[in-house]
């Protein structure tokens, strides 16, 4: 296991449901530390850039509209195996298929089939994307590691 940092976004649906604290609590209970945090209402352009890897997918327009529809909470989480651990806490991309106990199951399991984009949280999926995604949103001096 390695000490890692990963990028988390609490998406507009979760902010709307007023469950930022509950989600952060799950991160902390699992041993992850919040080492950077900010709220933002992202522009269409910023979301298009962040999700550029998905630009040719059929859901891209829906995803961009959703992610720019309201405020989000953007965080850097730090801990042992943080990238995989956060992905486990999140659950499957489609909340209706997520394991019980995961964030996407707990807070979006009742979504309809056409609401798959509304899945509560984003998390980096590899060390490379974590590094790129963290620097997309945070300056080095905004990150406060507590790995001691």
Catalytic residues: 122
What is the x/- site pattern for Mg ion, positions 111-140, by CB under 5 A? --------------x---------------
* Residue 26 makes contact with ligand ADP by CB under 6 A: no
End-to-end CA distance of the chain: 16
Residue 120 contact, options Mg ion, ligand ADP, none, Cβ 5-8 Å cut-off depending on partner type: none
Q: Hey, is 122 helix, strand or coil?
A: strand
Residue 116 contact, options Mg ion, ligand ADP, none, Cβ 5-8 Å cut-off depending on partner type: ligand ADP
Taking the complex as a whole, the smallest distance from the CB of residue 23 to ligand ADP amounts, in Å, to: 15
Residue 5 contact, options Mg ion, ligand ADP, none, Cβ 5-8 Å cut-off depending on partner type: none
Q: Which residues of 31-57 are buried (b: 16+ CB within 10 A; e: fewer)?
A: ebbbbbbeeeebeeebbbebbeeeeee
In sequence order, the 6+-apart residues with CB closer than 8 A to the CB of 63 are 47, 51, 54, 57, 117
Give CA–CA dist 24/73, Å, rounded.
10
User: Which residue lies nearer to ligand ADP by CB, 59 or 148?
Assistant: 59
Q: Which residues of 73-87 are buried (b: 16+ CB within 10 A; e: fewer)?
A: bbbbbbbebbbebbb
Nearest to 76 by CA among 1, 9, 148: 9
Taking the complex as a whole, the smallest distance from the CB of residue 28 to ligand ADP amounts, in Å, to: 21
* Residues in 120-139 that interact with ligand ADP by CB under 6 A: 122, 125
**Residues near Mg ion, by CB under 5 A:** 125
**Residues near ligand ADP, by CB under 6 A:** 54, 59, 62-63, 93, 116-117, 119, 122, 125
């Amino acid at each position: 296991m390695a000490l890692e940092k990963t990028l988390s976004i609490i998406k507009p649906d979760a902010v709307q449901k007023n469950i930022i604290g509950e989600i952060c609590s799950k991160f902390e209970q699992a041993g992850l530390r919040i080492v950077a945090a900010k709220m933002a209402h992202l522009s269409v352009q910023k979301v298009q850039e962040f999700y550029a890897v998905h630009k040719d997918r059929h859901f891209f327009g829906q995803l961009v509209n959703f992610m720019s529809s309201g405020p989000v909470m953007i965080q850097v989480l730090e801990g042992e195996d943080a990238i995989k651990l956060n992905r486990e806490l999140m659950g499957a991309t489609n909340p209706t298929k997520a394991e019980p106990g995961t964030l996407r199951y707990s807070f979006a399991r009742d979504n309809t089939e056409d609401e798959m984009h509304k899945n509560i949280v984003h998390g980096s999926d590899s060390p490379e994307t974590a590094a790129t995604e963290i620097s997309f949103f945070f300056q080095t001096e905004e990150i406060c590691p507590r790995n001691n």
